[in-house]
């Protein structure tokens, strides 16, 4: 019986609404007052049934509920023969709940879309080569799994065979496919676009990055900010106070009508739901765009940030040195020079050497066709080797000087110009003559410049860079990005001290780093931002905000979003407080009665939900140019 | 000590949270209850020698909320 009433609440609402309509028509026709009242009473009884049932269930477990207040109010209204009011109050209460449910689902839709990306099944590969389709919950660590084109990767793992382009939007919010092959890590929930892979399961079930992201967002959406806690406390006093007022009014003035009107307005619905609903829409928007914002409190602090501190390597820059230019002076082409040096550097463990080798291979050089006869790495200088009977010297100026290789004015000028741009210049001589200069740089992230500009336009006052790197490179990066201050050659403990100093000066500091060696500074800042690259555990745990695709545009988006969300929350609170005042004054002044009180109450709840829904489709980059928010 | 995660029907009013949290935390053997409004989930830490996951589910259903799934570990 109870379950049936529960299930058919919507139908009961509709029926109640139709009965009210019939009752009204009869009333307008001024025919049988008895018939009209009969319909309205029926509408009230049908409508109040599901409400009263919930109230009773709560009472049985000695728990207070809003439904109890409404039930009392409706019964009271029937008692004083206010059938129009009683039927409309119940109908509005039910219909309001229905609309709230529908609109709330919209505010929660971002997370639901994510959850729907969860994989359901996996193709298990047996040792004999046969395949079996199993449920994703049955996959164990160490299982070998096959993923076919269009298929979802069921668990976190490492590719052991095959290659594929993979859409990682579920984890990073970035829908441009990523190319992955042997030895690369893949994540549950991401989709294999084209190709074929076999992988070994490393993390399954609730341990996958995807599952952790979902859990983190769920927790974040429900973690309360200070404002919310305050409002909660307010309403936890407000409701009993108004209820008490209703009882007092009844006892002292024996005015039942006024008493039950108070009961109807005792729950400040918009006030209770206004802040959380902005929160959930804002955090959901972030999640969809690859930014995890850990709760309403973080949102409030992020919106107040006025000083940005960045780690250089791996944060402002990609953290992966690349060959930016091969400038030749002799007859050899750039690719030839690169091939000879790369062959020589195959024995080198220096990261610049390894960068050259990687670049040569990526540009299609077959190193096995070259012959390396002898090689010697000279620490802090470079390398000397013989490749295909050519004598190769590759390294810095000091090495060239030591080997009496002449660097003419033109080449010297060129090298300095490259260094001023933040490159490391590697001089290459073949058979005693300078042949080329290879420039290697840790490149600045593509979107860093635009993102910093956007954050400045939205309220950031100071941008500061920290690095353990040398002053020269630091300056080049700082100049290119228009950073206000930079501090080079720092130790991790220096970074923490500096963040603390900024805080003492009254700045609200957001510190962004790669999450591992910057963890102490990230923890010390008002807001810690971690570049998550697929969401490493450490960054997800220590930081307040995680950028899942390591994109600066995500950082800027999060910052502008937080401001927008906080503004939205304030609007909602203002609306809700205004409604509380209007209702109280209105009821006391006799302007607001049962039905109109319920109408204003339910209406205000819908207004705050609809207001919060605007956050779902918010796009930071578009809003700056003042265009529409439609996606 | 075990942990149960119940997926409930979509919750629509924050006061539902208080109701469910209140009712569950009054049960003996229940150590901690956390209700997530937006995710419509109830997370319960409980002593499985004193109370079963089914009893937790029953309590929530008695309040009039549907329990879609329940996971314990």
Nearest to B41 among A58, A65, A218 (CB): A218
- The label of the residue with tokens 């919209």 reads A106
Tens digit of each residue's pLDDT (9 = 90 or more) over A451-487 = 999 999 999 999 999 887 667 778 888 988 999 999 9
Residue for token pair 């009496």 = A404
Q: Which helix (H) or strand (E) holds A147?
A: strand A144-147
Contact B36 A222 (CB under 8 A): yes
B6, B39, B56, B57: best mutation site toward chain A, by most A Cβ within 10 Å?
B39
With contacts defined as CB-CB under 8 Å, which chain B residues touch A61? 22-23, 26, 59, 62-63
First to last CA, chain B: 9
Please tell me the distance from the alpha carbon of residue A428 to that of residue A387, in angstroms, as a whole number.
Answer: 13
Hey, of A49, A54, A58, which one would you mutate to test binding to chain B, going by the most B CBs within 10 A of its CB? A58
**What would the 3-class secondary structure string for A153-188 be?**
CCCEEEEEEEEEEEECHHHHCCCCCEEEECCCEECC
Shortest CA distance from A105: residue in chain B: B10
Residue pairs between chains A and B whose CB atoms are closer than 8 Å: 70
Q: How far off is chain A from B49, nearest CA to CA, in Å?
A: 22
pLDDT of A149 over the 60 cut: yes
CA atoms within 13 A on the CB side of A260: 24
B11: closest chain A residue by CA: A101
Neighbours of A282 (CB within 10 A): 29
Q: Is the CB of residue A27 less than 8 Å from the CB of residue A41?
A: no
Q: What is the ipTM of this complex?
A: 0.82
For residue A271, give the H/E element and its range: helix A269-288
- What integer pLDDT is reported at residue A6 of this predicted model? 65
Which chain B positions have a beta carbon within 8 Å of A221's beta carbon? 36, 38-39
A549 min Cα distance to partner chain B (Å)? 24
> Residue A196, SS3?
strand
**Would you say residue A99 has pLDDT above 90?**
no
Q: Where are the domains of chain B?
A: 2-72
**Residues β-bridged to residue A393:** A384, A429
- Residues in B lying within 8 Å of A, measured between beta carbons: 10, 12-15, 18-19, 22-23, 26, 36-39, 41, 59, 62-64, 66
Test A108 with B19 for CB contact under 8 angstroms. no
In the DSSP assignment, the letter for residue A369 is G
For residues A114 and A217, give the distance between their C-alpha atoms in angstroms, rounded to a whole number. Answer: 10
What pLDDT, in 10s, does the model give residues A593-617? 888 988 998 899 999 999 999 998 8
State the Cα–Cα distance between residues A203 and A185, nearest whole angstrom.
11
3-class secondary structure, A367:
helix
pLDDT, tens digit, for every residue of A319-333? 778 898 999 998 889
CA–CA min distance A363, chain B (Å): 49
Please give the residue of chain B at the shortest CA–CA distance from A278.
B38
Contacts of A223 in chain B (CB under 8 A): none
Q: What CATH class is the domain B2-72?
A: alpha beta
* DSSP label of A187: -
Residues in A touching B6 (Cβ below 8 Å): none
Mean pLDDT score of chain A: 86
Q: Which residues of A are catalytic?
A: 311
Over residues A110-133, mean pLDDT: 87
Alpha carbon distance A177, A119 (integer Å): 18
Helix (H), strand (E) at residue A584: helix A552-588
Confidence of residue A532 (pLDDT cuts 50, 70, 90): low
Q: Is the pLDDT of residue A121 over 50?
A: yes
Higher pLDDT, A176 or A362: A362
Confidence of residue A621 (pLDDT cuts 50, 70, 90): low
Query: Residues with Cβ < 8 Å from A213, sequence gap 6 or more?
Result: A114, A171, A287, A292, A535, A540, A548
Torsion angle of the four alpha carbons A90, A96, A102, A103, in this order, in degrees rounded to the nearest 10:
-170
Residue A538: pLDDT band with limits 50, 70, 90? low
Please state which of the ranges A295-299, A375-379, A513-517, B15-19 shows the lowest mean pLDDT.
Answer: A513-517
Backbone φ/ψ region at A482: left (φ over 0), alpha (ψ -120 to 50), beta: left
Q: What is the 3-state secondary structure (H, E, C) of A199-253?
A: EEEEECHHHCHHHHHHHHHHHHHHCCCHHHHHHHHHHHHHHHHHHHHHHHHHHHH
Give me the residue from B13, B19, B64 closest to A53, CB to CB: B64
Q: Phi/psi of residue A539, each to 5°? A: -65, -35
What count of other Cβ atoms lies within 10 Å of the Cβ of residue B66? 13
Of A63, A66, A108, the CB nearest to B23: A63
A565 within 8 A of A282, measured Cβ to Cβ: yes
Q: Which residues of chain A have a Cβ shorter than 8 Å from any chain B Cβ?
A: 2, 6, 53-54, 57-58, 60-66, 97, 100-101, 104-105, 108, 111, 218-219, 221-222, 232, 267, 269, 272-273, 276, 280
pLDDT at B67 exceeding the cut of 80:
yes
Q: Give me the residue from B14, B38, B64 closest to A108, CB to CB.
A: B38
């Amino acid at each position: 019986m109870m379950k049936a009433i529960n299930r058919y609440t919507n139908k009961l609402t509709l029926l109640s609404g139709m009965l009210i309509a019939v009752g009204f028509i009869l009333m307008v026709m001024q025919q049988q007052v008895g018939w009209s009242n009969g319909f309205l009473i029926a509408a009230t009884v049908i409508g109040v049934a599901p409400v009263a049932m919930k109230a009773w269930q709560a009472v049985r477990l000695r728990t207070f509920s809003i439904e109890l207040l409404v039930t009392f109010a409706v019964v009271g209204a029937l008692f004083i023969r206010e059938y129009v009011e009683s039927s409309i109050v119940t109908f509005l209460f039910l219909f309001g709940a229905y609309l709230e449910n529908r609109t709330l689902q919209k505010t929660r839709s971002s997370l639901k879309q994510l959850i729907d990306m969860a994989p359901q099944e996996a193709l298990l590969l047996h040792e004999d080569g046969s395949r079996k389709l199993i449920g994703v919950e049955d996959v164990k660590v160490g299982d070998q799994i096959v993923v076919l084109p269009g298929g979802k990767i069921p668990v976190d793992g490492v590719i052991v065979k095959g290659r594929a382009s993979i859409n990682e939007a579920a984890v990073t919010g970035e829908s441009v496919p990523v190319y992955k092959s042997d030895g690369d890590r893949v994540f549950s929930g991401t989709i294999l676009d084209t190709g074929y892979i076999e992988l070994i399961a490393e993390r399954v079930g609730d341990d996958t990055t995807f599952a952790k992201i979902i859990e983190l967002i769920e927790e974040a959406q429900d973690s309360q900010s200070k404002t919310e806690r305050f409002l909660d406390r307010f309403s936890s006093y407000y409701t009993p106070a108004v209820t008490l007022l209703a009882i007092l009014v009844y006892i002292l003035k024996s005015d039942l009508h006024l008493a039950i009107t108070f009961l109807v307005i005792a729950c400040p619905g918009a006030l209770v739901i206004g802040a959380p609903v902005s929160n959930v829409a804002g955090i959901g928007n972030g999640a969809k765009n690859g930014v995890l914002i850990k709760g309403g409190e973080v949102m409030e602090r992020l919106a107040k940030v006025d000083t940005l501190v960045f780690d250089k390597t791996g944060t402002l820059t990609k953290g992966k040195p690349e060959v930016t230019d091969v400038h030749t002076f002799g007859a050899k082409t750039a690719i030839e020079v690169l091939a000879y040096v790369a062959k020589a550097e195959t024995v080198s463990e220096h990261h610049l050497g390894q960068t050259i080798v990687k670049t040569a291979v990526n540009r299609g050089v077959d190193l096995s066709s070259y012959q390396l006869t002898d090689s010697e790495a000279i620490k802090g200088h470079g390398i000397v080797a013989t490749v295909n009977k050519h004598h190769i010297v590759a390294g810095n100026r000091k090495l060239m000087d030591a080997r009496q290789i002449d660097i003419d004015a033109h080449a010297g000028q060129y090298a300095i110009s490259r260094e001023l741009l933040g490159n490391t210049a590697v001089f290459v001589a073949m058979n005693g003559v300078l042949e080329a200069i290879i420039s290697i740089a840790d490149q600045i992230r593509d979107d860093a410049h635009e993102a910093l500009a956007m954050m400045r336009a939205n309220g950031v006052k100071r941008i500061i860079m920290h690095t353990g790197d040398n002053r020269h490179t630091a300056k080049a990066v700082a100049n290119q990005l228009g950073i206000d201050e930079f501090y080079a050659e720092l130790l991790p403990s220096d970074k923490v001290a500096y963040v603390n100093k900024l805080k003492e000066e009254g700045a609200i500091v957001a510190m962004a780093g790669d999450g591992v060696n910057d963890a102490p500074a990230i923890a010390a800042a008002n807001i810690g931002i971690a570049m998550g690259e697929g969401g490493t555990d450490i960054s997800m745990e220590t930081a307040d905000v995680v950028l899942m695709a390591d994109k600066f545009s995500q950082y800027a988006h999060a910052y502008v979003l937080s401001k927008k969300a906080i503004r939205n929350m304030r609007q909602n609170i203002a609306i809700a407080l205004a409604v509380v005042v209007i209702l109280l004054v209105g009821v006391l002044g006799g302007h607001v009665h049962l039905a109109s009180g319920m109408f204003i109450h339910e209406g205000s709840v819908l207004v705050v939900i609809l207001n919060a829904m605007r956050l779902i489709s918010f796009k930071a980059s578009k809003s700056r140019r003042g265009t529409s928010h439609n996606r | 000590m075990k942990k149960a995660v119940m997926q409930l029907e979509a919750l629509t009013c924050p006061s539902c949270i208080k109701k469910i949290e209140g009712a569950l935390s009054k049960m003996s053997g229940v150590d901690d209850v956390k209700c997530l409004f937006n995710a419509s989930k109830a997370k319960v830490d409980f002593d499985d020698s004193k109370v079963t996951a089914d009893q937790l589910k029953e309590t929530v259903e008695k309040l009039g909320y549907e329990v879609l799934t329940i996971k314990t570990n």
